[in-house]
Structure 1
Amino acid sequence: MANRTGAEWHRAAHWRRWLFVSLVLSQSAIASYCLVWVLPYHGGTLTERVILALFAVLYTWIAVGFWIGTLGFVIRRFGGDRLSLLRRHPAAELAHTSLAPTAVILPIYHEPVRWTLNGLKAVYQDLAAEGGLEFFQFYVLSDSRSADVWLEEQQVWCELVRDLKAEGRLFYRRRPVNLNFKSGNVADFLRRWGRRHRYVVVLDADSLLSGQTLCQMVRLMEREPRVGILQTNPSIINAQSLFARVQQFANRFYSPLFATGLAAVQLGDAAFWGHNAILRVQPFMAHCGLRKLPGRGLFGGPILSHDFVEAAFMGRAGFEVWLEPGLSGSYEESPPTLADELVRDHRWAKGNLQHLWVMLREPGLRFAHRMAFLNGIMAYVASPLWLLFLMAVTVAAAQMTLAPIDYFPEGHQGLFPLWPEWRPEWALTLALSTVLLLFLPKFLALVDAVLQDRTAEFGGGVRLFQGVLLEILVSILLAPVRMLAHSRFVFAALSNVSLRWAGQNRTEEMSWREGLASQWPAVVVGATWSWFAWHLDTAFFLWSLPVALPLLLSAQTAVLLSRRALGVGLLNRRLLLIPEEVSPPPVLEKARAVRSVEPEHSGLTPFQQAILLPQVNRLHQAFARVHSTLERERHWSTDVERCLKHGPALLTDAKLARIARDRWALAYLHRQSWKADPESYWGRCIRNLLAQRLNDSRQQADA
């Protein structure tokens, strides 16, 4: 049965991809032909040939998205893809499939500790309510370097184990040496404990997975032994700022269409997005190890975006990788501001561009996975191509306006001149077709919601339509800003330099000063281009406004979109609503409940708690190493004495971490700090601690 199913999806993939490529390329060829006759010299000049080449690539790029969305709409109208994993196995069959030993891993690096681990607590509780807990073990895998951060991680982990009664089921491990980022963290876990489990579910710091979905994923893997990676389609949740709420609405409303279309084209050659997915441990360990890139600059060193590469290696080994849009109960969060998104994109751009080396140089990869690499690369390279296209159009407009008409442009031979022609009706048709490609799939999602009677989940038909229009308006305002920022990121990656646009705003709101500081390059580019277009030609100025105006307004847009009051205000008016806000699933309610509980405040930093509080000190001693007396005296005994006398302020992070990792140092500082003079550093800390506890006792008595 498995072999017949595999042969069936391979045949279907061949025909679907052939049809898909034919539609994309034929549409792009027609559009490019139209552009030839729109251009005055019909491609007869160097500038026009550059415009044609860039247009062909970019139109093909947006045609890919259009046909993915359209295919998703058609498949959903016919009841779904019969070849998807969930459609192969009836619900009753899956329910009677036994579970298998599975690890749920949470790699973290300097995350908000209590908020992150309470999310994992909600996943644990939801799985327990589902009844499958005995087959799962949970691992918090820390790469945090700051002593205050990982000391808090250890303390909150201990509280979670105690609250959940999860001894022997919920573990914490911190790597002393941070190699190869997240992929190295996962690889280290697999080398140490991978053989204990048949499957591994990978989470991100902001991930939530329902217990039902976790069990469904394991059962699907049990029924499909050739599947090496099964990827869910996460929905964005918990958005507060206007920017995040727009991204959340777009993800939740449009992604079912696009994910269905993408899964139908990829089938068993899908991509892996690095989280909210399940891996088959044995083939992943055997075939998905990542060596460093052997080149220079960008193409040298560790692979930053590891997930696509691991999926490609899994496919090369003969295993399948599936995206299953029907697996609900998978959630993540989005950046709260435009600045936060661009900081994330800066990192992703470099990682995706590295895939060019893998795509071209790695032997044996399946063609579909090479195309997935190309798609990821184009997600960022498209921006500088758009920028070059706009520059080339500007040059062509300037040549037509400022220079005399050239009846014998370069490359033109013969006795007869080449007369420039203008075809405004063709230009209008081409512009409308481009707009159609960009926005029609969004309205197909609206039609799909109406036909499936799902509009109430998004606040009703009228509010849903208003939400689509608002999302389109915001996407139009942000597109030129992202284009300029992504162009910079690509340039920085390819030139192997680190350029700074502005410091990252780590709150959910930006001040006007921060907005201008982050977006002044976009404002300058927009103002300069508008000024030039105005003085060049009125028609060209009007043509440039859809790009120039968003650049001029980029600072105001970034600031207003960061406002929580605007986002919450729209939520109160039931605009940009998503189903999880109408009827929250249990795992989200559990996460909100545990995250809303305020912890007891001692008034001490995690390092101070590790020294002063007896129970916390014993916990960290259990994690710490035992060093020899000679090693201690040679390297850091003087640092311990300095810490005892003056506190941690005079020590570097590395020295504090070294003290916090030594069992003798923790025990010695705990004993001596409680003997310290009341006016010393540790004496004042103890006095503040006792005052805080006295105040808490009075508040409890008053309550």
Structure 2
Amino acid sequence: MTSLPPTLLPDSTHAQYNWRASARRRRALLLVLVLGQTLAATWLLLAVLPYHGRTWVEVGIAALFALLFTWLSLGFWIAMTGFVLRRLGGDQRSLLRRQDAATLASTPLGRTAVVMPIYHEPVARSLLGLKAIYQSLEASGELQHFDFYILSDSRDADVWLQEQAAWQALRQELGAQSRLFYRRRKLNLNHKSGNIADFLRRWGRDYQYMVVLDADSLMGGDTIVQMVQLMQRHPQVGILQSSPRLLNAQSLFARIQQFANQLYGPLFTTGLAAVQLGEAAFWGHNAILRIRPFMQHCGLRRLPGWGLFKGSVLSHDFVEAAYMGRAGQEVWLEPELHASYEESPPTLSDELTRDRRWAKGNLQHLWLMLFSRRLRLAHRLAFLNGIMGYLASPLWFGFLVLTTVEVARLVLWPINYFPQPNQLFPLWPEWHPTRALALVGFTLILLFVPKLLALADVLISGQRRRYGGALRLCLSVLLESLASALLAPIRMLAHSRYVVEALFNVNLRWAGQNRSGETSWLAAVLDQGIGSLLALSWSAFAYWLQPMFFLWSLPVAVPLVLAAPLFVLFSRIGIGTWLRDRGLLLSPDEHNGNALLDALEQPSSLPDLCERDAFVEAVIHPTTQQLQAGLAHAPRARRQQQELQLLRQRCLEQGPEQLEPAHKQLLAADAQSLRWLHEQVWLSAADSPWGRRLANRIAH
């Protein structure tokens, strides 16, 4: 690798000391605020409880409340920090503000690989997104510093043949034969992290940096160039993470997520970046990595424990950031890097399917948080925060169970005036409705003030028109808040189940994410029926116990009872379109336009190409057959060849629809079989299965 001239190394030890000192001060202040707020709220809860925490049930209620309130308070103060910093013009300690714009723009670039790992993704959408990024970099005038790699782990023959044909078409469309590459692993080990590791073993030494994308990522060329320049100027930085915004939402659920991300996200990411500074987390995509230290220090060993804590690390990104920090490299989150995007799952069902994998991966981090050596405290806390993202749900569920037990004990059993052993004086239960209302109000402040701060931030900065105007913006916030309140209990019950499954090490099927589609009524009822019955039974029991407790249960019970209709409702694209047409749940990218999103809609041969039967195209079309055979295996051993001969003869006589998926994969992966089928199909009779397909292909 080429070393940088001294003029490109502006950071001194003093500058590094300053950000670390700032980080310590900020984290200490955050700790005081969170713990102080939590102690006050827990004291208020104990004052509300009838026995003031002198029974084991009330001790459990108070303990769970304190844990949940701590996590809630942390989010509140991070949002408050973000609001203050944005009103002051930004964080002066951020990486982007260490040099002026002119100095950064004059920084030469290093050689960079842009990599997109894919696994059974919608091929046209993934490659059209990569095309938009390629053209944006080309427009920046810096394309010569970048190469692009599509790294496939797809196992289905129809998918990978489609990927390869679309890759070749995109190379020709862009004139990128020497810059756009495709590689499919034959052996799928360790999922995405193994895919990246395989790329680095093959080509890592050829590049200084690596920009990692997801299949739905979009990034502007100027943003990528700016990220490379920041890495050039700050050689102690190992990972620079942008803050991707959601876009291209169609369904009601996706539009709600997109609106919340674009309105509230800047506050939380600014606050989070201000607390983390050079010890941030890596989110696995829309980020740039310094390849040499990443290869040296971020290899993921198998976990040595038992059950959940044994085997491959599933959620690799936080771990890689922690290993970078352990090696002395800095990891930064930069909220002011714009033109970085991803897409939301289109339905709640798709989000929860993804969360099921993430829950298991994040819970694995408990082992690393406790037993990995020399990790920085900030990265251990990042592990804890990720764990709490899912563990909060069973804690909330446990809190509901204990409060139900407490009410049932007070209603169904005689009051015990001597709950503690050897108690000399009776303990009279007390009820304080005013304190209970104060506690509810205290909690609501933590939940809703960050939303109001984000709303105020937009109104003060004069960006209201980008969200459809002040009135529509306020209505959209109300709509999003209602949706969040409805979805929270559903997520709570689902995440609680996922945590239990993870702790029992239930095996998961790793599949590509759904990027489009709506939820059917049958799927929603089958998925949510048990939870709805459980909520209905709990609510009925609450009504039987005490009407006031029944009313208290409704905000949780009603969404769960109506979970199936909500799944269907939120998945509907028509409702999302109807709201967008009326200026609700708008995002700035929809109001101002987005060049990257517009590029996805430009005419291209890829969508038509991807609608065809990829296996049939690989057999019939001469150019496609030549490409696919060139990427397939060389001739195999004699025993395997005998099996392949039988399969291709069967395929020729009966047609491809008679093949099992596994047999189709064997033929599609064998170069000799593809060539033989191509020759025989063009000689087949007109009334044969392949003859009819050939005639239909020629006609079109």
Report the TM-score when normalising by structure 2.
Answer: 0.96
CA distance in 1, matches of 2:416, 2:115: 66
* 1:167 alignment partner in structure 2: 177
Q: Deviations over 1:246-287 (max 9, x none)?
A: 000000000000000000000000000000000000000000
Count of residues in Structure 1 that have an aligned counterpart in Structure 2: 688
Q: Judge conservation of contact 2:362–2:387 (CA < 8 Å) in 1.
A: yes
* 2:455 alignment partner in structure 1: 446
CA distance in 1, matches of 2:636, 2:546: 79
CA distance in 2, matches of 1:597, 1:661: 22
* 1:697 alignment partner in structure 2: none
Question: 3-state DSSP class of the match of 1:269?
Answer: coil
The one of 641, 655, 658 equivalent to 2:666 is 658
CA distance in 1, matches of 2:78, 2:127: 37
CA distance in 1, matches of 2:286, 2:412: 56
CA distance in 1, matches of 2:545, 2:662: 59
The one of 540, 546, 571 equivalent to 2:555 is 546
CA distance in 1, matches of 2:539, 2:125: 46
The one of 559, 563, 583 equivalent to 2:572 is 563
Q: For the structure 1 residues 573 and 673, does the alpha-carbon distance in structure 2 shift closer, same or farther, using more than 3 Å as the test?
A: same
Q: Deviations over 1:345-365 (max 9, x none)?
A: 111101101111111111010
Question: 3-state DSSP class of the match of 1:168?
Answer: coil
Question: 3-state DSSP class of the match of 2:196?
Answer: helix
* 2:413 alignment partner in structure 1: 403
CA distance in 2, matches of 1:687, 1:596: 22
Q: For the structure 1 residues 565 and 628, does the alpha-carbon distance in structure 2 shift closer, same or farther, using more than 3 Å as the test?
A: closer
Report the alpha carbon displacement of residue 401 of structure 1 after superposing the two structures with TM.
Answer: 0.7
Query: In the alignment, does 2:381 pair up with 1:386?
Result: no
Name the amino acid aligned to 2:68: L
* 1:221 alignment partner in structure 2: 231
Report the alpha carbon displacement of residue 513 of structure 1 after superposing the two structures with TM.
Answer: 2.8
* 1:304 alignment partner in structure 2: 314
Query: In the alignment, does 2:625 pair up with 1:617?
Result: yes
Q: For the structure 1 residues 156 and 496, does the alpha-carbon distance in structure 2 shift closer, same or farther, using more than 3 Å as the test?
A: same
The 5 A counterparts of 1:280-429 are 280-411=290-421, 413-429=422-438
CA distance in 1, matches of 2:636, 2:473: 67
CA distance in 2, matches of 1:28, 1:439: 17
* 2:121 alignment partner in structure 1: 111
CA distance in 1, matches of 2:358, 2:55: 37
Question: 3-state DSSP class of the match of 2:183?
Answer: strand
Q: Judge conservation of contact 2:211–2:287 (CA < 8 Å) in 1.
A: yes
Q: For the structure 1 residues 523 and 632, does the alpha-carbon distance in structure 2 shift closer, same or farther, using more than 3 Å as the test?
A: closer
CA distance in 1, matches of 2:672, 2:49: 78
Report the alpha carbon displacement of residue 53 of structure 1 after superposing the two structures with TM.
Answer: 0.7
Q: For the structure 1 residues 382 and 628, does the alpha-carbon distance in structure 2 shift closer, same or farther, using more than 3 Å as the test?
A: closer
* 1:249 alignment partner in structure 2: 259
Query: In the alignment, does 2:193 pair up with 1:180?
Result: no
Report the alpha carbon displacement of residue 634 of structure 1 after superposing the two structures with TM.
Answer: 4.2
Question: 3-state DSSP class of the match of 1:71?
Answer: helix
CA distance in 1, matches of 2:132, 2:608: 16
CA distance in 2, matches of 1:53, 1:604: 58
Unmatched segments (≥5 aa) in structure 2: 1-10
Report the alpha carbon displacement of residue 165 of structure 1 after superposing the two structures with TM.
Answer: 0.5
Q: Judge conservation of contact 2:95–2:334 (CA < 8 Å) in 1.
A: yes
Q: For the structure 1 residues 595 and 487, does the alpha-carbon distance in structure 2 shift closer, same or farther, using more than 3 Å as the test?
A: farther
* 1:468 alignment partner in structure 2: 477
Q: Deviations over 1:294-326 (max 9, x none)?
A: 122211111110000000000000000000000
Q: Judge conservation of contact 1:533–1:544 (CA < 8 Å) in 2.
A: yes
Question: 3-state DSSP class of the match of 2:601?
Answer: helix
Report the TM-score when normalising by structure 1.
Answer: 0.95
Query: In the alignment, does 2:671 pair up with 1:667?
Result: no
The one of 473, 476, 480 equivalent to 2:489 is 480
Q: Judge conservation of contact 2:122–2:515 (CA < 8 Å) in 1.
A: no
Aligned residues with identical type, % of pairs: 55
Report the alpha carbon displacement of residue 169 of structure 1 after superposing the two structures with TM.
Answer: 0.3
* 1:638 alignment partner in structure 2: 646
Question: 3-state DSSP class of the match of 1:593?
Answer: coil
Report the alpha carbon displacement of residue 52 of structure 1 after superposing the two structures with TM.
Answer: 0.8
* 1:677 alignment partner in structure 2: 685
Query: In the alignment, does 2:207 pair up with 1:197?
Result: yes
Name the amino acid aligned to 1:195: R
* 2:286 alignment partner in structure 1: 276
Name the amino acid aligned to 1:93: T
CA distance in 2, matches of 1:224, 1:178: 35
Name the amino acid aligned to 2:212: V
Moved more, 352-361 or 556-565: 556-565
Name the amino acid aligned to 2:356: H
Q: For the structure 1 residues 658 and 597, does the alpha-carbon distance in structure 2 shift closer, same or farther, using more than 3 Å as the test?
A: closer
Q: For the structure 1 residues 135 and 608, does the alpha-carbon distance in structure 2 shift closer, same or farther, using more than 3 Å as the test?
A: same
Moved more, 70-79 or 368-377: 70-79
Q: For the structure 1 residues 600 and 180, does the alpha-carbon distance in structure 2 shift closer, same or farther, using more than 3 Å as the test?
A: closer
The one of 56, 63, 67 equivalent to 1:46 is 56
Q: Judge conservation of contact 2:73–2:446 (CA < 8 Å) in 1.
A: yes
Report the alpha carbon displacement of residue 545 of structure 1 after superposing the two structures with TM.
Answer: 1.0
* 1:698 alignment partner in structure 2: none
Q: Judge conservation of contact 2:117–2:195 (CA < 8 Å) in 1.
A: yes
Q: Judge conservation of contact 2:490–2:560 (CA < 8 Å) in 1.
A: yes
CA distance in 2, matches of 1:290, 1:422: 54
Q: For the structure 1 residues 629 and 234, does the alpha-carbon distance in structure 2 shift closer, same or farther, using more than 3 Å as the test?
A: closer
The 5 A counterparts of 1:7-156 are 7-156=17-166
* 1:699 alignment partner in structure 2: none
Name the amino acid aligned to 1:482: R
Question: 3-state DSSP class of the match of 2:602?
Answer: helix
Q: For the structure 1 residues 25 and 596, does the alpha-carbon distance in structure 2 shift closer, same or farther, using more than 3 Å as the test?
A: farther
Q: Judge conservation of contact 1:339–1:504 (CA < 8 Å) in 2.
A: no
Please report the RMSD computed on the Cα atoms of aligned residues, expressed in angstroms. Answer: 1.7
Q: Judge conservation of contact 2:239–2:321 (CA < 8 Å) in 1.
A: yes
Q: Judge conservation of contact 2:157–2:615 (CA < 8 Å) in 1.
A: yes
Q: Judge conservation of contact 2:170–2:606 (CA < 8 Å) in 1.
A: no
Q: Judge conservation of contact 1:122–1:594 (CA < 8 Å) in 2.
A: no
The one of 519, 525, 534 equivalent to 1:516 is 525
CA distance in 1, matches of 2:82, 2:621: 57
Moved more, 458-467 or 269-278: 458-467
Unmatched segments (≥5 aa) in structure 1: 694-703
Q: For the structure 1 residues 336 and 428, does the alpha-carbon distance in structure 2 shift closer, same or farther, using more than 3 Å as the test?
A: same
